[in-house]
């Protein structure tokens, strides 16, 4: 088959294929945590300072985006805690029960899994873009860095 004549995949198809692949990546690292609020809790904990992010802050965002009530927000936080990805703390840093006043902090398991998930996602995104156009971005990730350290370079 002559690839010069083959029809290019529509951008919508590239995005749809990437999103399906992303769901598989997420499930590989965080099985069972497939609700919108799970992703937000995990991302908030991973990108927050070591002392954590307030449950109330997470709830405000979830309520604003999706209309999520506080009870559902706390259930999602408990799901993430039960799987060992976050710790629920009081203002003094001691473990406590999830409540609007508690803090949510990332565990080592979340740091490791989320960073690997990000690297794999970036690789999948670059592959999707390379498949679309041969001269697009590559990812360079230094060993030992976290997901906030990646750099995209465009080679023309």
Closest C-alpha to 103, from 50, 37, 38 = 50
The chain-wide mean pLDDT, for the chain, equals 81
Q: 110 pLDDT exceeds 70?
A: yes
Between 4-13, 70-79, 122-131, the lowest mean confidence (pLDDT) is in 4-13
Domain ranges of the chain: 11-153
pLDDT at 140 over 70: no
In the numeric block, the tokens 């799987």 are attached to: 83
Determine which of 39-53, 81-95, 131-145 has the lowest per-residue pLDDT on average.
131-145
Q: How far apart are CA 139 and CA 90, in angstroms?
A: 39
| Angstrom distance (rounded) from CA 42 to CA 40 | 5
CATH topology of domain 11-153: Arc Repressor Mutant, subunit A (1.10.10)
What 8-state DSSP symbol labels residue 147? G
Residue 104 has pLDDT above 60, yes or no: yes
In this prediction, residues 71-91 reach a mean pLDDT of 96
Please say if the pLDDT value at position 53 is more than 70: yes
pLDDT confidence tier of residue 129, bands split at 50, 70 and 90:
confident
Report how far residue 49's alpha carbon sits from residue 112's, in angstroms, rounded to the nearest whole number. 16
User: For residue 108, what pLDDT band results from cuts at 50, 70 and 90?
Assistant: very high
Is the pLDDT at 123 greater than 80? The verdict is yes
């Amino acid at each position: 088959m002559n690839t010069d004549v083959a029809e290019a995949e529509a951008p919508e198809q590239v995005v749809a294929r990437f999103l399906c692949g992303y769901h598989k990546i997420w499930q590989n690292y965080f099985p069972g945590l497939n609700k919108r609020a799970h992703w937000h809790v995990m991302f908030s904990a991973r990108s927050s300072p070591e002392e954590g992010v307030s449950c109330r802050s997470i709830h405000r965002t979830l309520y604003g985006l999706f209309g999520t009530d506080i009870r559902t927000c706390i259930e999602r936080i408990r799901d993430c805690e039960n799987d060992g990805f976050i710790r629920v703390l009081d203002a003094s840093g001691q473990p406590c029960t999830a409540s609007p006043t508690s803090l949510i902090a990332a565990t080592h398991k979340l740091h490791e899994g989320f960073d690997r998930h990000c690297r794999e996602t970036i690789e999948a995104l670059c592959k999707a873009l390379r498949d679309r156009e041969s001269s697009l971005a590559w990812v360079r990730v230094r060993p030992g860095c976290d997901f906030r350290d990646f750099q995209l370079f465009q080679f023309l």
